Amino acid sequence: MSTLYRVKPGGTVRGRLRVPGDKSISHRAIMLGSIAEGTTRITGFLEGEDALATMNIFRAMGVPIEGPVQGRVTVHGVGSRGLRAPTRELDCGNSGTSMRLLAGLLAGQPFTSVLTGDASLRRRPMRRVTEPLARMGARIETAPEGRPPLTVYGTTRLKGVEHTLRVASAQVKSALLLAGLYASGRTCVTEPAPTRDHTERMLRAFGYPVLSSGSTVCVEGGGRLAACEIEVPADISSAAFFLVAGSIAPGSDLTLTHVGINPSRIGVLEILKRMGADITLMNPRQVGGEPVADLRVRHAPLKGVEVPPELVPLAIDEFPVLFVAAACAEGETVVTGAEELRVKESDRIAVMAQGLRRLGVEAQPMPDGMRIRGGAYGGGVVDSHGDHRVAMAFAVAALRASGPIEILDCANVATSFPGFVLAARSVGLDIEEHAGEGQPRGET
């Protein structure tokens, strides 16, 4: 059975908080550490279910991995040719990143593997990776309509291609680059709009040459990765809940420490600033090839904005909580060009519109986004549909609701933000977690 949250209305958020490690970087650290030569030491690793799923998958392919212990993980890399055939299905749980990136990496192995996941992941589209990988010579079978599970018939005969992505997706770009490590010749990916570049940065940190020019990034197959040390910054996608909390709750003053501010991830800062948020970047520094800063947020009256579509891929995971910011802003916020939200852990346009309307917010879903008129709203019962970011977004919404909010099906918060309830309570949210109530997990 699942978990529900009960959040009392009102309150203020204050203090300092370090949210857990970046999910995208944690996945990649395990993947690249596993196929590197030597021992990779990771600190700040996200001990959430998604990153742990990736870790267990590499263990199942014979990679000795120690930890995590307080965010420390040691990966004894087996080299690019050292992975062993798994003897069981590889379970990605709720994690699209695990499945899509692994589809690319496994396409170039000399064995067959099966990638599966929970009910939410088994509904998500995979042709976006299997089709371009097929152009490289990969053979991957899907369930009907291109859904998981994926049976990856690995081959050592992949060939490099030049591929232009149809959707701006870092997962697809990364899948192709990881396959490209095993392909003959050069693999080049051109993206229609910039997306997160953690794969490119981390490949370079492992000493693997990556060529980039404009919107195209290329790798030559057959190179070697050398183990390194990776310090994972706090996840800006998890910090985003508190950036919105601090912005909407009167009297708030909160500092989020050691947050990754990679330029391909800071759409949320840009959008909140356009809405009038008071966010200051302090102590900017570089940590293992990734920029990091402390972010101080103080309450400020927000106003509605039209979100420029080019910012959408740079804030793609932050829309659930940005919709809550819009509900608290004066005037109308319009998001377009965000149809990708429909194929995330849930259909985030439909699910957020349903929940916001339940609270009395004027929210108009559109095929590719949402129109929200800000104003006062009430409490009520909302269903997260098993989507971690939807659950946390509605917890934040309670800060401005006139009544308590009860959020159903919250167990998946543990996929990206273990300890969310404690963290939220520590800065001032009046939130309680009730286990074993609501819908069965992952089956909504």
Q: Which residues are catalytic?
A: 317
Q: How far is the CB of 289 from ligand S3P (least distance, A)?
A: 16
Does residue 105 contact residue 138 with C-beta atoms inside 8 Å? no
Spatial contact of 303 and 330, defined as CB atoms under 8 Å apart = yes
Measured distance CA(24)–CA(260) in Å, rounded = 11
Tell me which of 49, 118, 231, 317 binds ligand S3P, using CB under 6 A.
Answer: 317
Q: For ligand S3P, give the closer residue by CB, 170 or 429.
A: 170
Which residue type, as a one-letter code, is found at position 254? L
State yes or no: residue 120 binds ligand S3P (CB under 6 A): no
Q: How far is the CB of 261 from ligand S3P (least distance, A)?
A: 16
Closest residue to ligand S3P, judged by C-beta, is 24
Interacting residues with ligand S3P between 184 and 203 (CB under 6 A):
195-196
In the complex, what is the shortest distance from the CB of residue 243 to ligand S3P, in angstroms, rounded to a whole number? 17
- Euclidean distance between CA atoms 77 and 38, whole angstroms: 5
Q: How far is the CB of 50 from ligand S3P (least distance, A)?
A: 9
Cα distance between residue 319 and residue 173, in whole Å: 21
Looking at the Cβ atoms of 178 and 405, the one nearer to ligand S3P is: 178
Stretch that binds ligand S3P, among 62-70, 79-87, 167-175, 431-439 (CB under 6 A): 167-175
| Among the listed residues 171, 238, 262, 415, the single contact to ligand S3P using CB under 6 A | 171
Least Å distance, CB 30 to ligand S3P, is: 12
- Among 24, 54, 80, 384, interactor with ligand S3P by CB under 6 A: 24
Structure tokens at 354: 């349903």
Round to whole Å and give the CA distance between 326 and 323.
5
Count of residues that interact with ligand S3P, criterion CB under 6 A: 11
What DSSP assignment string belongs to 24-84?
HHHHHHHHHHHHSEEEEEEES---SHHHHHHHHHHHHTT--EEEEETTEEEEEEE-TT---
CB closer to ligand S3P out of 196 and 299: 196
Q: Is the Cβ of residue 175 or residue 328 nearer to ligand S3P in the bound state?
A: 175
CA 385 to chain centre: 17
Residue 26 or 40 having the CB closest to ligand S3P: 26
Residues between 42 and 81 with contacts to ligand S3P, criterion CB under 6 A: none
Instruction: Enumerate long-range contacts of 204-212, CB under 8 Å, 24 or more apart.
Output: 204/289, 205/230, 205/288, 205/289, 206/32, 206/36, 208/181, 210/177
Among 170, 217, 315, 397, binds ligand S3P (CB under 6 A): 170
Q: Which of 26, 40, 80, 97 binds ligand S3P (CB under 6 A)?
A: 97
Give dist(CA 416, CA 27) in Å, integer: 11
Q: How many angstroms separate the CA atoms of 248 and 120, rounded?
A: 31
Whose tokens are 């339940």? That residue is: 358
Nearest 10 degrees: CA dihedral of 59, 95, 261, 174? 80
In terms of Cα–Cα distance, which of 91, 46, 117 is closest to 417?
46
CB of 405 to ligand S3P, least distance (A): 24
* Shortest Cβ 18–ligand S3P spacing (Å): 20
Q: Compare residues 45 and 377 and give the one whose CB is closer to ligand S3P.
A: 45
The residue ranges that bind ligand S3P (CB under 6 A) are 24, 97, 169-171, 174, 195-196, 316-317, 340
